Structure 1
């Protein structure tokens, strides 16, 4: 059921003195874009008449087919709490469509909607609770971001060790003003690293909230004179930032179908099949869950980020999937590999499609791995059948290129554009001479 009608939006804009409305959408790499209009243009926007040039957005279309239209999702109307209260600024998240009104196949939101429809056809609704991690760093005298931080806080620390308590407080209050339900916020393991957990929601709403979360965090950090980054591994030798996803399915009555009180773990057959599907396709979708060259600096042993394809019935954080201690309507599984730079629309679509594939094929996961996989030898892992996620962007690209599953989920347009861009990214990095190489080799050779 919709939250708002067109009349509601007009009324809210007038009553709240909203002067500017940002029409937002996301490119295939998870970068938020927008076109700003004044309140006087709102009628045109709500009648889906706002057009933009899609050829200037990376991964969208060629110049000879560039006209695109923004179709606002009325339920996403929110006022930015951090902007001036006189002449307020609001936003509407939009779907991207072609001039004839057909959905644009290069719109990540459309890809997720297609996966959600597939789930609905099977009688399911997909729910996701994101755990969002990020770093707060100082800026230099010119306002450019650095990787410097004065604070030396660690996991769950409080002030004065945690110097960013007030920043997180302002972020949480702003998000709650925008309709978020925040489960927890706290200092994470690394210096300058923080986590805010968002209550689970249907998948499209969850993806929209992840994008909104990133925007809010960056804007509020800037107001405090800081730079917020969702780069997965900005600092060498410490824990990177993940986007852990807590997932479950409900049936048409709203019942959590992952729950089975007769099972020793409280998990249903459907839940085990979903887990098996995620494990089956985890290598193929790694380019989506971990999209940057830098992503694979996080996926290394001992930094609390899983690089081994296994699941654990206990809280074994060295496994790709773990089962958090919960029961009843809170029964869920947690996928730990995605990082904070991932496009949430594409990641949730891929995860849902993988899980549904496991259900359709009646797949069964291998035995739970409850030991520390980081401490196992190669021989032990081989004997247990534990494979490894790709260890570099190059390896992820090679697997993705051959994945008919990924192409089906994304559609040929996004699949080819995404692959082309990531191959270009790797080739650019491959020929780049890094500071490490100069330091290591210049004197020696």
Structure 2
């Protein structure tokens, strides 16, 4: 089979089959993991022996698509791995006594066309829309997570690993050693790390890596999650990217800094003479995000639990507004300008499928660029302290308050449907409807504690 190329920008150097075969031999690789994600962003992989490596790199390895959430039915289940050769990497550890490599794959149909239910293929499709307008889409996600102790039987507990706070250091921050090993492992895989630190809540941490193109960053988010959980497990801990695992403390977000770069070079969001030194393109992008955010929130915040983070009182954004600095706003423009000019969307959480979330955010912003949607005036006041009447006067709506509300918005969003494509859109609605119904009909410990003795 021949590889059907979908040309999109990537920050990784190109690789050839010959290059990879040479490296695998030199580093004595015994096992290759073919990695991809389902529509929920769950990492999946198939392991093959090194003697199958050349076949895999030439797109000749098959998978059963009917066994993957949101992919194919049993009647049309044959599919193929198409490795992105630039993503080949030898992992900096052994599995048993075997050296292991991984390569990130797109999923293709038997006729050699990209499978439209593959989130990575779908993001490539959406990125080409930006290219047609003369832009590259760059993203800088900030991943937050908790480190929890494990119960004696090995299951995760909700007891945090430390009692440190924002920017604390050791010995209070017991996570320094774990974070340090995570960062070191990622750097050995070729990541350019920018920062890591303890977050606000006990046991909560953040890792940031270099701003880059959206496709590479979606791959990177997936890799960081895998590495973080593996390193945590090595230390007897559980790393959780659940948005709100502990009641009464801050939840975990995935703030997404984003910008458009001109294909010929230069940041399309920067204009030295514009208001706030922002270009009309950036203002329209902000306008598009604000207009469409309620319709894509079920993608950026995909769990029932996501909406227990999006409540006032814990620094999470709740209200649809923007600001040049104000951290109570949903959209914030950090102070740096020039090539660093960017817009930070603060609502996404780390449970989101990054391929789908980036596609949705991009098309929401491009809707503003194409249709010249002007944003409202920036909000400088602390929105959390405004009354409901004051927010109404200033036309500051709230984000959806539940997965059900977010799904109703998604169903009516033309941008969301375009961002996901027909296949993923319908499969995602089906899966999330099942999830909401399971939650809605469950009898929770809260209900037992509150009602059992009284009624």
TM superposition score category, shorter chain reference: over 0.9
Return the alpha-carbon distance in structure 2 between the equivalents of residues 100 and 399 of structure 1: 35
Return the alpha-carbon distance in structure 1 between the equivalents of residues 293 and 52 of structure 2: 45
* 3-state SS in 2 of match to 1:222: helix
Aligned match of 1:379: 389
Could you tell me which runs of 5 or more consecutive residues in structure 2 were left unpaired when the two chains were aligned. 1-11
Return the alpha-carbon distance in structure 2 between the equivalents of residues 253 and 412 of structure 1: 32
Aligned match of 1:239: 250
Return the alpha-carbon distance in structure 2 between the equivalents of residues 65 and 90 of structure 1: 30
Return the alpha-carbon distance in structure 1 between the equivalents of residues 441 and 255 of structure 2: 32
Return the alpha-carbon distance in structure 1 between the equivalents of residues 379 and 423 of structure 2: 38
Return the alpha-carbon distance in structure 2 between the equivalents of residues 129 and 97 of structure 1: 28
Aligned match of 2:238: 227
Aligned match of 2:110: 99
Pair 1:199-2:210 in alignment? yes
Pair 1:164-2:175 in alignment? yes
Pair 1:409-2:392 in alignment? no
* 3-state SS in 2 of match to 1:387: coil
- 1:208-223 equivalent positions in 2, closer than 5 A: 208-223=219-234
Pair 1:265-2:276 in alignment? yes
TM-score w.r.t. length of structure 1: 0.98
CA RMSD for the aligned pairs? Answer: 1.1
Cα distance, 1:383 vs. partner? 0.3
Aligned match of 1:436: 446
**Contact 1:82–1:220 (CA under 8 A) maintained in structure 2:** no
Structure 1 runs, 4 residues or longer, greater than 2 Å off: 82-87
**Contact 1:17–1:86 (CA under 8 A) maintained in structure 2:** no
Return the alpha-carbon distance in structure 2 between the equivalents of residues 310 and 250 of structure 1: 24
Pair 1:280-2:291 in alignment? yes
**Contact 2:322–2:330 (CA under 8 A) maintained in structure 1:** yes
Aligned match of 1:13: 24
For these two proteins, the number of residue pairs brought into alignment is: 444
Pair 1:359-2:369 in alignment? yes
Cα distance, 1:2 vs. partner? 4.3
TM-score w.r.t. length of structure 2: 0.96
Return the alpha-carbon distance in structure 2 between the equivalents of residues 264 and 399 of structure 1: 32
Aligned match of 1:303: 314
| Deviations, residues 229-269 of structure 1 (Å, cap 9, x unaligned) | 10000000110010111101111222111111112422111
Aligned match of 2:437: 427
Could you tell me which runs of 5 or more consecutive residues in structure 1 were left unpaired when the two chains were aligned. none
Return the alpha-carbon distance in structure 2 between the equivalents of residues 130 and 286 of structure 1: 16
